[in-house]
Structure 1
Amino acid sequence: MTVHVPSDRPMPQSQRNVQPYARKEDETAMKTITPVQILEGSITSPACNYTHVVPAVIFSTSGFMGNLFHEFNEIIIPLFLTTHHFQSHVQFIIVDYDPWFVTKYNRILTHLSPYEFINSASNGSVHCFPGIVVGLEYHDNLAINYSDIPGGYSMLDFKQFLKEAYNLKVKTLSKIEQPVLMLISRNGSRMFLNEDEMVGMMEELGFRVVVVTPNRMANLDKFASVVNSCSVMVGAHGAGLANELFLPTGAVMVQVVPWGLEWASNAYFGEPAQDMGVQYLEYKIEPEESTLIDRYGRDHQVFVDPGAIFAMGYYTARAIYVDGQNMKINLVRFRKTLVEALGFLGHSSPTN
């Protein structure tokens, strides 16, 4: 796709390519993004087939798709902070058009723009706009910097936007009488091997427990309201924790931190929680709670020096800590974390 930007005064012609994706420093993601050619200066633009009265924003729906964290982190939140100040007077042009993505996030996309999306690959017409933005702004992991966006929006404003887009009813915990705990159940890696025992302990503490699987989380139109009805969300470090965006204000997110993933757990989900109005607790597992101990032993470098493992390269460390371990949670230790979560909610445990 080519964007022509003619000038009213004589100036040299220039040409550059822009890949319209937020995480430009991520070389792996950028390999999948189709560049947009921009021609500027004293150029002869082709005749318009369609003339629009609102500006356009060009972005890609490629990158790390199929992962809720990356979808929100690199497309949805950047799209909000780039376009919300247009107050729906904007049209989207999508590069690397993915029908699955557009269907999944249709409520959000149509809440930002009422105009029909333009698929750059299948629409060969010449469209003329009064202005255009190529690419999306990016601030940080699941974050919006209030002072760096027109209109001064924050993550709380984004959460309010999500409530409106998904018609979410619960704004604060005051509307939830019995504490409801959502337990994110994983398969493949970072699973809770004693999940049934964990649920029993949670129920003994007075929680109504909702166990959700990846299949149930796939339909965001329905699942957002399920998350919005919960007081506490518990899950191992992973993309599913991005659902904290739908928790009501004052809710608690408890992240179970697998061995070796302390930095990622805090950077991706721990630090952003506060700006969302979510109270955050983490439960760092001990070596004995990780299945890695059966494979490597307590004295292996995997346990005594995870930094050295990460120094061998991201994919080496990922194979071990992200994809290669499951967990059997110490119920006595974990119970203390959940009692603390109850305290945040203004409840006490049955034994207190």
Structure 2
Amino acid sequence: MEKKPRNLFFRATPWIFLLLLPFLIYADLFWGKFIHFDQRIHYISSSETVLSSRKAMINKAVEEKQEPLDFPLSRLVKDEDQEKLKSTGFACNSEVYSLHCVTNRPVWIDTRTMTVTIPSNQPVQDKVIRPYARQEDKILLKSVTPVKILQGNTTTPFCQYNHEVPAVIFSSSGFVGNVFHEMNEIIIPLFITTRQFKSRVQFILEDYNPSFIRKYRKPLSKLTSYDIINPSANQSVHCFPGAVIGLKFHNHLAINSSEIPKGLSMRHLRDFLRESLNLKYSHVSQIKTPTVMFLSRRTTRRIINEDEIVSMMEELGFRVIIVARAKVISNLELFASMINSCSVFVGAHGAGLTNEVFLPDGAVMVQVDLIGLEWAGATYYGNPARAMGVHYLRYKIEPEESSLMKIFGNRNHIAFTDPKGAFPVQAGKEVYLNGQNAKINVTRFRETMVVAMSLVRDSEL
């Protein structure tokens, strides 16, 4: 049977559709634009109130963007200097130990000369500071590179790098290599000064020390989200929306909540260190076996009969870890983890006791208090331990336990009865810090360790 030819319309339809397709697409786009255009016209012409509202929203967004910067900067200035910061954009805080300056205005920082320029319509004023926490030590400050601050109607250098966060300038000069001074004069003041910025801050580290950066890389990376600028290797001009020059210092191994920026404490620091170093224990009750870390000294202030002391502590039921190698102590992440797993920390007066900051809450710090070092022992380690939530026990040696007895011969000698007045300051340091060891009375020291065990066993979360 013969097939009938298909209707011409149906045969041509696909080709007609293809020919019309571009026009259909164009019409759709045009119509869509027309609709959106019409909506836009309606939106704009509907009311002036809408425009005003939109403008207010924009202004509010700008203010909200600015507020997170102004607020943490202003917290670093005392109440009486707030008005000065608000009117001039610049204010400084000077104390016995520390000096830092704050600006909430745009600044130009030339790392070639370490010059900070703060433009304003006022006559030019200049100020030079050395950004280190030991401001009372004039000899030490000579090793810290100075920063020159220019404020006023002055020309600004060409800006090579623009930053959206404020700068903090400080130095890693001083006693770097000594854990007490590293923690006391750099890490804790840096935490006090910058924690409130929530990592949105750029560090400029004068007197850049690579070993310091490696040692504290984890805590530093929690305080800033940006690579630290080394002025000697990055000599250029940087622009910032604000800056802090120098660090705020409260006291030795201390943070006082009543001092600017207010609200911080040693407990906040310890939580920060646990987080940044990924420490396991927050409370001593989490440690199942009572453990003592015994810090053994190999040069001055040695405990001569430490084997007897260790045996006695083991008899009391302690697991004892003896640490003497400088390589272990200098490895912050390893040593912090070791101390954090201990219930009790025992040692003679010295920088190594700074590591008490890594002990869990409720742990015990036992300091062997040598002749002539009572004030230093309490100020640098005893009082800070209590503020950290760590129990502090002091074992004060008798003159007969000190190696100085062989030199001075009698417990009634002025070297024992009046250490402060016995020698000039420098000579006293040589005698008591560098010329003294101890042979501890094991029976007396056992009483101290019994108390330590009781504190550990009775401790609860």
TM-score normalized with structure 2 length = 0.73
Give distance in 1, aligned partners of 2:127 and 2:303.
49
Gaps of 5+ in 1: none
Match of 2:205, SS state, is strand
Match of 1:216, SS state, is helix
Give distance in 2, aligned partners of 1:138 and 1:234.
28
Distance 1:347 1:207, change over 3 A: farther
Match of 1:217, SS state, is helix
In structure 2, the residue matched to 1:6 is 119
In structure 2, the residue matched to 1:21 is 132
**Contact 2:133-2:248 within 8 A present in 1 as well:** yes
Match of 1:280, SS state, is strand
Match of 2:368, SS state, is strand
Q: State the AA in 1 paired with 2:356.
A: E
**Contact 1:85-1:151 within 8 A present in 2 as well:** no
Which of 60, 63, 76 is the matching residue for 2:174? 63
Give distance in 2, aligned partners of 1:276 and 1:73.
14
- Answer yes or no: is 1:334 the counterpart of 2:445: yes
Match of 1:119, SS state, is coil
In structure 1, the residue matched to 2:309 is 198
Give distance in 2, aligned partners of 1:176 and 1:194.
28
Match of 1:5, SS state, is strand
Match of 1:15, SS state, is strand
| 1:291 CA displacement | 0.6
Give distance in 1, aligned partners of 2:345 and 2:451.
13
In structure 2, the residue matched to 1:46 is 157
| 1:215 CA displacement | 2.8
Give distance in 2, aligned partners of 1:51 and 1:307.
54
In structure 1, the residue matched to 2:339 is 227
| 1:327 CA displacement | 0.7
Worse-matched range after superposition: 204-213 or 288-297: 288-297
**Contact 2:285-2:456 within 8 A present in 1 as well:** no
| 1:34 CA displacement | 1.1
In structure 1, the residue matched to 2:362 is 250
Match of 1:78, SS state, is helix
Give distance in 2, aligned partners of 1:31 and 1:344.
46
In structure 1, the residue matched to 2:392 is 280
Which of 189, 199, 212 is the matching residue for 2:323? 212
Q: State the AA in 2 paired with 1:232.
A: V
Worse-matched range after superposition: 278-287 or 146-155: 146-155
Larger radius of gyration between Structure 1 and Structure 2 = 2
In structure 2, the residue matched to 1:169 is 280
How many positions carry a matched residue from both structures? 344
Q: State the AA in 2 paired with 1:122.
A: A
| 1:174 CA displacement | 1.8
Worse-matched range after superposition: 26-35 or 52-61: 26-35
RMSD: 1.2
Give distance in 2, aligned partners of 1:236 and 1:29.
26
In structure 2, the residue matched to 1:188 is 299
Match of 2:258, SS state, is helix
Deviations 1:323-348 (A, max 9, x none): 00011110000000000111111269
Q: Which has the higher contact order (CA 8 A, sep 6+)?
A: 1
Moved over 2 A (4+): none
TM-score normalized with structure 1 length = 0.96
Percent identity, aligned pairs only, is: 55
Match of 1:147, SS state, is coil
In structure 2, the residue matched to 1:345 is 456
Q: State the AA in 2 paired with 1:163.
A: R
Give distance in 2, aligned partners of 1:306 and 1:28.
25
Give distance in 2, aligned partners of 1:347 and 1:200.
23
Structure with the larger helix share: 2
